[in-house]
Chains A and B, each alone.
Chain A
Amino acid sequence: MAERKGMEVSIAIAEAASACDVDCIAAYPITPQTHVVEHLSEIVADGDLDAEFIPVESEHAAMSCCCGCAAAGARTFTATASQGLALMHEILFIAANLRLPMVMVVANRSLSGPISIWNDHSDVMTERDVGWIQVFAENGQEAVDLVIMGHRMSEDKRILLPLMVNFDGFILSHMVEPIEMPTREEVKRFLPDYEPQQRLDIDNPITMGPVGMPVVYTEAKMAAEWAVRDAYKPMVEIMGEFEKEFGRKYKPVETYRTDDSEILFVVMGGISETAMTWVDKVRDAGVKVGLVRFRMWRPLPVEDFKKAIAGVKVLGVLDRHFSPGGPGGPMAQEIKYMLYGQDHAPKIVETVVGLGGRDVNFIDFDQIFDRCKAVLGGAPVPPFELIQVRGGHYGKA
């Protein structure tokens, strides 16, 4: 097993991409992703990775370049955040629907108005419909592992889709912490050379991205739907093989101390670990509460989630984004979709926390837990609420 070494998470991600022996990197620097691409460009410039590093003029160009690289049959990597991801938006659909394998890490950051470089999930949550595989890391080690697994998943003949690894900006990207960095040889054993199933080749010409007339567009979308859904099984298989090779276990839906809990919190990404520390604290005081976390977000692991929350009375959902004037936070929306009409479905306390870098600490967890306890005791389910806002979500009391 590799030695634990102190590293900044962004640097570790760049090293992981390098260990995956990627062929092409096209990226544009943006806070808080900058250290990832800076370090990768150094690795390439130093000759430690035989890859094409394409410095582009925008994220729109970065994603377009990545499509070209992947279409040519290259193992492709990129990274972005926030406005950068938003600028890629229209090309993201194309990468997915052309079935172009690639891995992109997103250092999750809020979207502007007002300008904010800090962490929340508004960038990725506004890209739920693009047809990519989307996974979330909770610490630096997981980010590294998901980059390595990500290439294998993305290139798997049964999947062939672009894959997004989400890790929280600053909270994870700028954190120095211990990481076991797999060696290039270990990664090579797990991640075989990429064999493109279809690529641009002058000897065997094909047309990628032709017009989809109304007579074929619906069928193309159905194919996209099943491409993402069908990725579930091979992804779980690859997580199992990763565990065999590296000893670290990953599941589509992760749980923490859920035994005989009547109340569970549902969280995602970097605040999960802080939430675990809070769970430990209140459990020590004799309160039965646990955590459920989405590792896999697309495809949405419906059955795993239902299993994880079976028998629970109240779910406290902590979203990091919401749709103004709409149905609240994205996780809560999708959980309601999964549970609607189900007998004995838990009641859902919907909250939004940690917007634009607001620290989420034990006081916030306590507050949300109080609301959950009230609902458990028979109080009506409150409407979705932005917990940390001064002045109160529904006006001053």
Chain B
Amino acid sequence: MPKQSPAPDWQDLALGTAITEPGSSRYQRTGDWHSSAPVWDLDKCIKCGVCAVFCPEGCIAMRADGYPEADMEYCKGCAICVCECWAACIAMVEEKE
């Protein structure tokens, strides 16, 4: 079991169980869900950014040199980027123990 923050009593829930802190989903480190990771073949990458657009976690960012990079703290290993890449330059690689 991953560690969880202490759950609130009902009296401490926000009105209507709303989440009042913007961007709080970053506390959910979904990176530990993945068993394989996307690896870019930068010789084939055309820097279009489609992988970043389609990433459901929003964990792919474009680096200063224009190439994409995944933040493995949040990458769930879903491989949607692999399916969407026009240049077919992404491959999922099994992570070693």
| A residues lining the B interface (CB < 8 Å) | 97-100, 160, 197-198, 205-210, 212, 215-216, 218-220, 222-223, 226
Query: Nearest-CB distance from A382 to chain B (Å)?
Result: 43
Q: Which residues of B contact A209 (CB under 8 A)?
A: 16-18
Query: Nearest-CB distance from B62 to chain A (Å)?
Result: 24
B10 to A220, Cβ gap below 8 A? Answer: yes
Query: Nearest-CB distance from B19 to chain A (Å)?
Result: 4
- Distance, CA A210 to CA B22, complexed state (A): 13
> Assuming A215-B7, A216-B8, A219-B10, is B22 touching A205 (CB within 8 A)?
yes
B16 to A216, Cβ gap below 8 A? Answer: no
Which of A160, A223, A226 meets B17, CB within 8 Å? A223
How many residues of B are in contact with the other chain, CB < 8 A? Answer: 15
B15 to A160, Cβ gap below 8 A? Answer: yes
29 interchain pairs, CB-CB under 8 A: A97-B16, A97-B17, A99-B16, A160-B15, A198-B16, A198-B20, A206-B14, A206-B18, A206-B22, A207-B18, A207-B19, A208-B16, A208-B18, A209-B16, A209-B17, A209-B18, A210-B17, A210-B19, A212-B17, A215-B4, A216-B17, A218-B10, A219-B10, A219-B13, A220-B13, A220-B17, A222-B10, A223-B11, A226-B10
Which of B7, B18, B20 meets A216, CB within 8 Å? B7
Query: Nearest-CB distance from A229 to chain B (Å)?
Result: 13
- Distance, CA A178 to CA B16, complexed state (A): 40
Q: How would you classify the secondary structure of chain A's contact residues: helix, strand, loop or mixed?
A: loop
Q: A198-B15, A219-B9 are in contact. List 19 more A-B contacts (CB 8 A).
A: A97-B16, A99-B15, A100-B16, A197-B15, A205-B22, A206-B20, A206-B22, A209-B16, A209-B18, A210-B17, A215-B7, A216-B8, A216-B13, A216-B17, A219-B8, A220-B10, A220-B13, A223-B13, A226-B10
